[in-house]
Each structure stands twice: as structure tokens, then as C-alpha cells.
Amino acid sequence: MDPLSACLLLLTCLADFSASVTEWGGAVGGSSYGPSSVQIVGVNVVTVGIPYGFQCIADCYPDCKYTWTRGNVTSQGPELSFQLLHVVPTQTLSCTVFNSETGDSSTVQKTLQVTAGPSNIQISGPTYLTYGAESIFICSASCYPACSFSWTVSWEGETLSKAQGSNISVTPYAGTVLEENLICEAMDTVSHLYISSSLSLPVASISDISIVGDSTVTMGKSYMFTCYAACYPSCNIVWKYMGKTYEGNQVQIPIYHQGDKTIACHLEITFNDYTKIEPLTCEATNTISHSISTSVRNLTVIDPISVHPSSAGLPTGERPFSLQCVGPQNPASITWLWNKLPMPASERVLFSSDNSTMTFNPLLHTDDGLYQCVVADGGPPIQSGYQMQVNYGPYGVGISGGDILTVGVLYHFNCSVDCYPACLLTWTWGNVTSHGPHFSLQIEELIPPQLLTCTAVNPLIGVELAGEETIQVIAGPTNIQISGAGFLTAGVVSNFSCSADCYSSCSYSWTLTEEGLMINTAQGNTISVTPSTSVNNVFETLTCTAQDTVSHLYISSSLSLPVASISDMSIVGNRTVTLGQQYTFSCYAACYPSCYIVWKYMGETFQGDNIEIPILDSAENKTFSKRLEITFNDFFKSEPLTCEAVNTLSNATVSLTVNLTVVDLFSVRPTTQAPPVAGEPFSLQCVGPQEPATITWLKNKQKMPARERVHLSPDNTTIIFSYLFRADGGVYQCVVVEDGPPILSVGYLMQINYGPDAGSILNPYGGPVGGLMYAQPGSTIELQCVTTCYPVCSISWFYGGLLLATNSSISFTPVAPPYTTPLTCVALNPATKQNFTAEITVGVSDGPKNMVIEGPASLEIGVTATLTCSADCSPSCSFQWTVYGKTMTGSLIDITVNRYISEESISCKAQNTFTGNTATTNETLSVSGTITAALCTLL
């Protein structure tokens, strides 16, 4: 701008300013009016976290006062600013204008719709695309009242497709596309604010897989094959041939077209096994999608050598036979294999001088198998095979089906023979013949023994062999048998079954006798027998009769069964015993045929002294007795003594138990009612009915010596602990010596109560928690209070001074506000009356909110101004400014305007250092300066 123009501009500004002052002054001496034309200027939709300003306008004279009402909050002045910190229902603003001169007022309202977000946008789905396959992606965001979603799929800046909704299905556009960009935009349905997120997705593909190499190969020669596959981003290639997998030699060839890489894998094979046609497979696997593509080439194998029979006729067992290795030239060496193992020479297997011929003399049927000759001719060995099947037999003709037949019963016979090829079988029974491996026969009347013959003929070599079976005919019943136990047990059920061979079928009947008297009968092939518990039944006789249902012939079988029993058990001996005294007990039991007796007392088993007493009655029951001598040294007040009799035949066991009352002569007791507590004094006393001569103390059955912390009274009756350690726990006993043998007192189990020891607050993974921890609003915190106590400590948690829980582990959601609250864990041992406290401070992240830019209301050209940005944050915020289109960091900045503009826009963004949440505030400052005035002066 030239100096003259600048001066004219300044004069114009002054003229305008003068006019404005006149207008503000108003009409002098005019009458009062208003308020009228009252209205609220501002937006209709507000978003949580964003500050908004509203202005109330009215026509008034001489002046008006403005009052704002929002809910239960009021403020004065024509302007209103506020910022919502969380989602609330619809807001109503009221502005009341009052003319103090006229006393008139007018009110106007404005209804605001509340929105929140969008924020926290996320795209979930696979990390890559696969050509030819569909992939599903989901977009989510936080909005109030709701979000709408839109998608854009692009490649190299070109849009491929668009979609609406939270989900999208993506299939790669074409095989040449290596990467697609996926963009999701979330928009609040009311405020129309939006946020977006994008994903760059590689496209995995395999194409153009092929095998290069010969399709016809010759045994003994090496061939090179190459597999090519176009892949993105890369592939792994393997070869498969004759059931084996080969890695090959993989090479990455330079890129042919945009992004695709052609992978080449080389495989060299020497063909030594003859298989005529065998597939060679190349398999490519994409390294990220793991999809597989294959290419197959069928290889025709040419056999330059072969194995042929040199003998006339087929290979036949028991006859000579020769095999010859035939090829196009004379080999350097020949090796023979049988089923892929070396074939040695023997007295029966001979080789020619050049190994080209192998002769069997004679050939056996076990010589079946694959015969190969391996030829070495200076290069790799070559082998060819001949599958030889030896014709032999018949050998070992056998007839199965039984050699005893009952009149009127149909029987089936089978003829077996070892033969190749399959033999022709002919049956002969008298003047009856039949063909095939099976023969059926039913005899209607008794006949003398007769031969059944099976003749086997080998149809190829004409050899035959016959097998014979002499058949005996009976009319039943026969072979009666009783199955079951070899003895009976008194009072116990025993089951028996009867079987026999009959013409058609058998019917069965049972009788049970004791000393010639019948005590039970039954029908059917089974019976259940339960002997009486009486001691008189020593033997019982069980008889089964089987009768043919057609001929009514019958047969019987009997079993004499001893009855094993135990009865009349008794224990003889004192029921009240004294510690340190020895007692004898006897156990009696009446048994057949005999018993052995054991004693059981306090978890131990005693064999004692087993005695057989002479026979008491004619039933041959015998009374057995066992003595037991015990000295009682342990006090248990009442303890069962058990006698157990075991029958030597049935192994049945009968027990008899008596309870013994043990009289306590001496015992160890605490001298006070207080429990033993670590770090505190404690005493034990040996108490008995009389004064002992000497007393010795034991801990856990080991002698307890006196020491610095442990003292004994002068008469050793009391052991005194100056203070207890945890290691003092155990069983304490006193050994008392009077006139007789030493007496071991009843023991006292002392368990030391201790704790709580120093504890701590841990996270669920066992790590310690520091003095201050922060959590997201609404998140759940899991913590554990750990200490050591005996017997057990009660745990109480206090949050903000109030009881939160009474478990060692807690899971809770911190409240806000306030944003930091003390959390205390208190462990209390009710036995020791001791406690321990651990405390941390739990903070809830918040903000940024209530953002403010502080500084001058306007800027002056060439003069440095300082601006400060602040916000409410927990735990803290970082700040970023945008000024002149550039960015600066820090809560305080200095700026200088060096150009003439009417106003300058400034933006400050605050970011929570814990949650990453952000908020932004903007400020527009007017700019003034003296550049024009200086130019006018120069003019």
C-alpha cells in the first residue's frame, strides 16, 4: 500500500469511529421503551465437551438487564457461555430482559438438543485380504444418541466401492491389486460431527502355478524340474513324489509386474524305482493367508531293464524255477533283491557266474514276493522288479465242526486247506458227495462210527490231498457239568449253572441236601444257594439232573460243597485301662474249616498268638483264639480295639470292636487360658495324681533341653518360655519315672499364633502396586491383600474411609469425583489381637475439560503477547497450539504479529497423558497497529 492510500484509509476509519460513538449515545431527551424483539442467538445442538456461547438481544431504552436461567443455574449479562461435561437430557435456556426505567420484562426460551462424540472409533477384522475370498470388517464408535457409519474402499487413491452401515464385506477387486485401503467414517446422527479411521490391508494371492520339466523319464537318470508360482507377498514351495515331501531349492525371481513375485523352486530326481506312471506335485503355500495351490505333472517312467522268468511254465512249488535280469547292454554288476532286501545264495538258491540268472531248486510257496535286479553300469544303479506268485498245494487239509454228533441235530462242517490258486474241494460221506468248502449233515438214527472225507485238488498243477474225520453218533444227554464256586459261605448267596449235551434240548432240575435231608429244590439251568448262618451246616450236596426233552433220557451230577462260616465272636479283657500298664486281651471265633485272627488298634495291625481250641460240637466247628498284650502309653480317652477273623476258605471277614477307656495318670496342660502367641511368654505344666520322682520333657518325641529362652521349674514340673517363636510349635509330653517303668504323659499340641506380618497390595498377576494408581472412568480394578497369619487373618478393605469388602481379593469400580481416593487394606488376627495396614491412592482419569485461553483481549502489531492454555485434567494434560498455521507445544506461548490483519485465530488442544483423550478451544483476537499512522506522518 502506498503512503497516500494508507493515510486516506486512516481518515476513513476515524470518520467511521466518530459516527459509531454518536450512534451509541442515543437520542437525547427521548422517552423510555422496551424490552421488545427479544431473541436468543446461538446454536440449537450442543455436543458434550465443546464450549458454546449464546447472546440475548432486545430492543430497550434507556437500558435493560439480562438474566439467564439453565436448570437451577442463573447468571447475569447479555451473553452466556457453558460447556457440558457429560450426557444430559435436552437443555432449555431462558433469557429474561428487564427495563429498570419502565419496570417491564420479557422472557424468551431456547431448547437445545444434546449430543456426544463421535469418539473411540475402531475397525476390527482380519489383518489382510485374500484374493477370491470374502472378509468381514466391523466399525464401532462412541456416539450419543447414535452413530451412522459409511465406508470407502480405495486402491492407489482410486475409490473402488462405498458402503453404509457398521459392517462391510470386502473381496479384493482384482488379482493385480496388492493392497486396498479401508476407511470408516462415524457421524453423530444429530450433531453431524464425524470421525474416521483407516486400515491398509495387503492382498494375499497365489496364481500362475506351473511345473516345467520332462514328462517322460528313464530309470537311472537324473532330471531337473522347476515349479513357478506368482505370489504376494511370498510363498513357500514343496514337492511331493511317491509319498515323500521334498523342500527343493527355492529362488525368488525379480518382480514381473506390480507387486507380484514369481517364486521358482528346483528339484532334481534320479528315478531308481519303476512305477510306470507316478504324479509329481508342486504345492505353494501363501505365507500370510496359508492358502494352498498345487500343480501336478504325471511322469511316465521308462524301464531299461527288466526281470523275466527263464523257466518254462508257471512258478510251482517243489519244482525248479529261474529268473533272469534282462537289459540293453552288459552290466558291470548285478545285485538281486527280494522284497527290497538283499537275496543271498544258499543250497536251494543258486546264481549264474555273471549274476544275471537266479535259480530256485526247488521253489517253495514261501518264495512269494517282489524280485528286483539292481544294475550298476558306471552311473547311478537301476532296478526293475518281478512280482512272483508261487503255485503250490494242497497242504494241510483239515475238517472242523466236531466229531461227535447227536441224533436229530443239524451240524455244519468246514474244510480248510493251504493252496494257490484256490483248490477244488469235494466231500464224501458214505455214498454221498458234495462240492465246496462247507458241508451240512443231520443223522436221524444211531449208526456206527463212519468217515467224513474232504479231498482238495489244485486245478493248476493237478495235485490232490484228502483229509478225514471219524464221526461218532450219540443220542444224548451227555457231558453234564455244574459250574460255580467250590464252596458255600454262611449267609452269602452263591450261584450255580448246569449244562449238558442233548438230542434236541435239555430240561434241568436241582436238589440241595444236608446230611441226607433235602432242604431245597429248583427248576432251570441255574440255582442260587444261601446257607443258613447256623454253625451246624458244615457240608451241603448240590445235584443237577439233565433230561432230554425228546427221548426223556437223563443224566445227573452232584457237588459236595463245604460251608465256610464264622460265628460266636467275642473279646475277653478289661474295658478300662491305665496309662503305662500292660493288659492282655483274647479274641474267640467259631469257624469252619478254619480262621486266622488279627488285632487292630490305633491304626496298627497285630498278628498276636493264633491258637486252635479242641472241637466244641459234632458239626466240626472249631474255636480259634488270639491273645494280644498292650502297654498303653498314649492318651486318647476312648479308642476302639478291633478283632478281625478271616475265613481261610471264603476269605469272608467278620469284625468285633470294643471301646477302651484310657485312664489318664499324667498329662501336659497350659498354665493359663490364654493361647500361645509368638513373641509372648507361655508355660506348660506336667500334671498327675502324685508327686513323681523325676520328670523329663519331650518335644515331638525328642528330648527337650533347657536353654536361654526356655526354663524349667526346680522340680521340672513346669517348662517356661520367656517368649515364643513360631518354631516352638509341636507336641509336648512329659516322661514320669516313679517306682515302676517310665510313664509317657498325654501330649499337648501347641500351635503358635502369629501375625499379621508385613503385607502388601498386589495386582492379580502377583506384582506390587505403587502408592498411586490410575484407572479409566467406569473400569474395574482387581487387587489382592497379602500377609501371613496363624490361624487366619480377617481382611477388610476401606475406600474413602468406608468399608468396601471383607475378602482378601476385591474387584471394584472407583467413583468420580473426587478423582483420587485412599484405598486401605487392614489385616486383623483375632488370636494375637494384632493388625497390619497397607494403603494406596486410587485415581480416576478425567478431562481435559473447562479449557481456557488466557492473555490479552487483542494483539498489537510488533508487540509480543503471552498466552496461557489451561484445562482440568487428571492426572495431567499436555498442550499443543496452532498459530499462523503452525504448531507449538507447552501451556504457555509468546506470539508477535508482524503483518496487518484485522484479527488472528488461535487454537489450543489439550491431551490427557493417561487416557489420550483430547479437547480443543479456539480464540479469535483482534489486531491493531500504528503502521498506517507512521506512514501518514511521513507524508
CA-CA-CA-CA torsion sign (86, 88, 90, 96): negative
3-state secondary structure of 580: coil
What pLDDT band is residue 379 in, cutting at 50, 70 and 90? low
Encode pLDDT of 13-52 as tens digits: 333 333 222 223 333 345 888 899 899 999 999 999 889 9
Cα→Cα distances 112→194, 783, 871, Å: 20, 43, 25
pTM (global) more than 0.85: no
Query: Which of these ranges, 274-288, 412-426, 517-531, 673-687, has the smallest mean pLDDT?
Result: 274-288
What CATH homologous superfamily does 667-741 map to?
Immunoglobulins (2.60.40.10)
Residue 682, burial from CB neighbour count under 10 angstroms (0-12, 13-18, 19+): buried
Please give the pLDDT value at position 534.
66
CA distance 198 to 153: 10
Estimate the share of the chain in helix, then strand, then coil, as percent rounded to the nearest 5. Answer: 5, 60, 35
CATH class given for the domain over 119-203:
mainly beta
What pLDDT band is residue 112 in, cutting at 50, 70 and 90? very high
State phi, psi for 110 to the nearest 5 degrees.
-140, 125
Encode pLDDT of 205-221 as tens digits: 887 888 988 888 877 67
Residue 11 scores a pLDDT above 50: no
Question: Is residue 759 within 8 Å of 784, Cβ to Cβ?
Answer: no
Q: Does domain 847-934 have CATH number 2.60.40.10?
A: yes
CATH class given for the domain over 206-302:
mainly beta
CA distance 123 to 196: 10
Please give the pLDDT value at position 275.
60
The most confident of the ranges 140-154, 565-579, 677-691 is 140-154
Encode pLDDT of 612-645 as tens digits: 443 333 345 567 676 777 776 555 567 888 999 8
Angle between helices 3-25 and 931-938 (to 10 degrees): 120
Encode pLDDT of 888-935 as tens digits: 999 999 888 887 788 888 999 999 988 889 999 998 888 887 544 333
CA distance 449 to 96: 134
Question: Is residue 558 within 8 Å of 538, Cβ to Cβ?
Answer: no
Encode pLDDT of 270-313 as tens digits: 766 656 678 889 999 988 888 888 999 988 877 677 788 988 88
**Residue 835, CA atoms < 13 Å, CB-side half-sphere:** 11
Q: Considering only CA atoms, which of 378, 152, 172 is closest in space to residue 289?
A: 172
Q: Which three cell numbers stand for residue 428?
A: 464224501
CA distance 158 to 545: 101
Please give the pLDDT value at position 688.
78
What pLDDT band is residue 611 in, cutting at 50, 70 and 90? low
Residue 382 scores a pLDDT above 90: no
* Percent of the chain topping pLDDT 90: 30
* CATH number corresponding to 760-844: 2.60.40.10
Average pLDDT, the chain: 83
Q: Which residues pair with 10 in a beta bridge?
A: none
| Bond before 830 cis per omega within 30 degrees | no
Domains 667-741 and 760-844 share a fold: yes
Encode pLDDT of 413-442 as tens digits: 999 999 998 999 999 999 999 999 999 998
Between 262 and 13, where is the model more confident? Answer: 262
Q: Are strands 834-844 and 809-812 parallel, antiparallel or unpaired?
A: unpaired
* Percent of the chain topping pLDDT 70: 87
Query: Which of these ranges, 732-736, 738-742, 784-788, 916-920, has the smallest mean pLDDT?
Result: 738-742
Residue count (the chain):
939
Residue 261 scores a pLDDT above 70: no
What pLDDT band is residue 384 in, cutting at 50, 70 and 90? low
Which residue is listed with cell 496309662? 579
Q: Which residues pair with 520 in a beta bridge?
A: 512
Looking at domain 30-115, which CATH architecture does it have?
Sandwich (2.60)
Question: Is residue 539 within 8 Å of 486, Cβ to Cβ?
Answer: no
Which residue is listed with cell 420479557? 106
CA distance 68 to 97: 9
Q: Which residues pair with 518 in a beta bridge?
A: 513
Question: Is residue 143 within 8 Å of 189, Cβ to Cβ?
Answer: yes
Q: Considering only CA atoms, which of 896, 855, 847 is closest in space to residue 872?
A: 847
Please state whether 367 falls in left (phi above 0), alpha (psi between -120 and 50) or beta. Answer: alpha
* CATH number corresponding to 306-392: 2.60.40.10
Please give the pLDDT value at position 616.
38
Residue 64 scores a pLDDT above 50: yes
* Domain boundaries defined on the chain: 30-115, 119-203, 206-302, 306-392, 412-455+465-473, 478-563, 565-663, 667-741, 760-844, 847-934
* CATH number corresponding to 565-663: 2.60.40.10
CA distance 384 to 274: 6
Give every strand in the sheet of 820-829, ordered side by side.
Answer: 772-775, 834-844, 820-829, 794-799, 802-805
